[in-house]
């Protein structure tokens, strides 16, 4: 039985790497936010807007507990998931946890180029975005750093480098 949970800041590539890693290992892949959206027939942003962050975080914790019981799975979590309740401790009990780490400047570049609308960063200038990322990382790093494994993914900007990242991750996990 294999369980791998990927954590890290938004824009770190958790979904991209998770999908590729699952394919390489013949495992199921789940993105926690997509799982929530499928179960509740609403976008995460709608749940946030309609019922608030506290409600969403409770829902996220319950869905994490549900998903993390599955076997032979790779899960990518939202950037805030490990920072609430006892989520990071639970993830470490259930799975091999991997923190996908990037420099704030690289995250800023990824988020600027991203195709996904992210409510937390909407309307921010590049300088505001970089400062927001630095401030958020300072708060979240104590949680992220509790992962069993950390992998620097700063150079993951094309398919060849993604493949190298998957190879490095498999080596790190002994898979």
How high is the mean pLDDT in each 10-residue block of the chain (175 residues)? Answer: 96 94 97 96 92 95 97 97 98 98 91 68 85 96 98 81 90 93
pLDDT for 48 equals: 87
pLDDT for the residue 158: 73
130: how many CB neighbours lie within 10 A of its CB? 18
β strands within the chain, DSSP E? 3-7, 28-31, 73-76, 96-101, 149-152
Question: Quick one: which of 28, 153, 136, 37 has its CA closest to 82?
Answer: 136
Q: Measured between alpha carbons, how far is 76 from 83 in angstroms, rounded to an integer?
A: 14
Residue 175 inside a domain? The answer is no
CATH classification at residue 127: 3.40.50.300
pTM (predicted TM-score): 0.94
- The reply to whether 45 falls in a domain is yes
List the domain range (segments joined by +) for residue 138: 3-169
Which pLDDT score is estimated for 155? 73
Task: Determine, yes or no, domain membership for 174.
Answer: no
| H/E element, 58 | helix 44-67
Count structural domains, the chain. 1
What integer pLDDT is reported at residue 114 of this predicted model?
A: 65
């Amino acid at each position: 039985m294999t369980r791998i949970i990927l954590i890290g800041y938004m824009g770190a590539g958790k979904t991209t790497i998770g999908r590729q890693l699952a394919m390489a290992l013949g495992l199921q892949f789940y993105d926690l936010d997509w799982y929530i959206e499928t179960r509740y027939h609403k976008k995460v942003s709608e749940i946030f807007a309609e019922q608030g962050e506290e409600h969403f975080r409770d829902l996220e914790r319950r869905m994490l507990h549900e998903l993390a019981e599955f076997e032979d799975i790779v899960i990518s979590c939202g950037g805030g998931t490990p920072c609430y309740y006892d989520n990071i401790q639970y993830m470490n009990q259930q799975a091999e946890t991997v923190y996908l780490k990037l420099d704030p400047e690289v995250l800023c570049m990824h988020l600027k180029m991203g195709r996904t609308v992210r409510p937390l960063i909407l309307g921010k200038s590049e300088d505001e975005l970089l400062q927001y990322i630095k401030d958020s990382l300072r708060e979240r790093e104590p949680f992220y750093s509790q992962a069993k494994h950390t992998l620097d993914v700063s150079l993951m900007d094309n398919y060849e480098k993604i493949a190298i990242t998957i190879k490095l991750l498999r080596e790190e996990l002994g898979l």
